Amino acid sequence: MPVLNEARYLAAAVGTVMAQDYPGPRELVLALGPSTDGTDAVAERLAAADPRIRLVPNPGMDIPIGLNLAIAASTHDVVVRVDAHTQIPVDYTRIAVRSLEASGAANVGGLMLATGDTPLQRAVARGYRSRIGLGGGSYHVGGEAGPTESAYLGVFRRDALVDVGGYDETLRRGEDWELNYRLRAAGHLVWFDPALQVTYWPRETWPKLARQFHSTGVWRGELVRRMGASNGVRFFVPPALVVAIVLAAVVGAATAVVAVVGTVPAWLAIVAALLGVGPASYAALLLGVVATTPGSLGDRLRFAGVVAVMHLAWGSGFLQGVVRGAGTNRDTSRSEGPAPA
């Protein structure tokens, strides 16, 4: 479990791990980043109370590095990746190991059941679970058990992880997708099992949501630079939307200026109208979201806003990553955590 500024969630997350009904031996290794909210004190109390919980420092705070450190410190043949911002059901490990054995897969993952305890966090959770929000990934919206492109979190055979060299430590986002790509390229099977369901607590403020999705987009752009066409077509839709909006705004402003000083040429009017189709269609889509989403008007407006932030922040980050590379970009949406509850 990589951990950074999770004082509010860590004890509950660890509690669900240690409450697993899996009949075999187990351990939990926490890779502790440089938290500023009292997370380390929480982790130390938990480790003092249960010798199966061990702590390893992750001073650089990058998730892939922390995961590799924790995996190296662990001792068993099955590696279960868990997150400090999640809660797993009591049968998660047992079902996952059974699925590994039955499918012959190298990695098994299930559903990310995003949830929230504030109106905005619930709207963000709805965005995660919606096809209009994050698209049609099986680990967001569900589906039948079977082979999949990537897996949420992941329950791995250690020998397969060793075979492909573990997580790529040069990535700060998208490390799961990239690892599963290498597993599949090496001939291993990645498997989706809807019986595995993990409660996930998403970002709870607008700025944190925007920073998270912008950073994720930047690193997807970096993956496109590195791996090109291996990335699915769906990843290019949000940046195309951002480009369409910017072009429409620029040409629309130019058309307005020309209209003030003289007659707008027919060709410019046609170009402005054509470029306006994309943004207008997206605005209509958001209006449709407001009209058809269940709940109060406030709930519907929040959900439409969340969808727009997800798409536009991710799309603009993607363009930055493709053009300039990810460089030292970090997701700062959890760089300052809440005070311990």
Residue 112's pLDDT band (boundaries 50, 70, 90)? confident
228 and 189 housed in the same domain = no
Q: Pick from 171, 222, 174, 202: which is nearest to 60 by CA?
A: 171
Provide the residue range defining the domain that includes 164: 2-202
Q: Does 338 score more than 90 pLDDT?
A: no
Among 202, 222, 251, the domain boundary falls at 202
155 and 241 housed in the same domain = no
pLDDT at 233: 83
Strands (E), 201-327: none
- 130-153 pLDDT, tens digit each: 888 876 667 777 788 999 998 989
Question: Which range (48-52, 156-160, 256-260) has the least confidence?
Answer: 256-260
160 and 225 housed in the same domain = no
208 and 192 housed in the same domain = no
- Residue 304 near residue 3, CB atoms below 8 Å: no
Q: Does 254 score more than 70 pLDDT?
A: yes
Q: Does 256 score more than 60 pLDDT?
A: yes
Distance CA 338, CA 341 (A): 8
> Which helix (H) or strand (E) segment is 282 a member of?
helix 277-292
Q: Pick from 153, 211, 206, 148: which is nearest to 181 by CA?
A: 148
31 and 105 housed in the same domain = yes
Question: Which range (18-27, 220-229, 314-323) has the least confidence?
Answer: 220-229
Q: Does 339 score more than 50 pLDDT?
A: no
Distance CA 95, CA 274 (A): 52
| Cα dihedral 102, 103, 109, 112 sign | negative
137 and 64 housed in the same domain = yes
Give the whole-number percent of the chain exceeding pLDDT 90: 78
- 31-54 pLDDT, tens digit each: 999 999 999 999 999 999 999 999
Distance CA 9, CA 14 (A): 9
14 and 113 housed in the same domain = yes
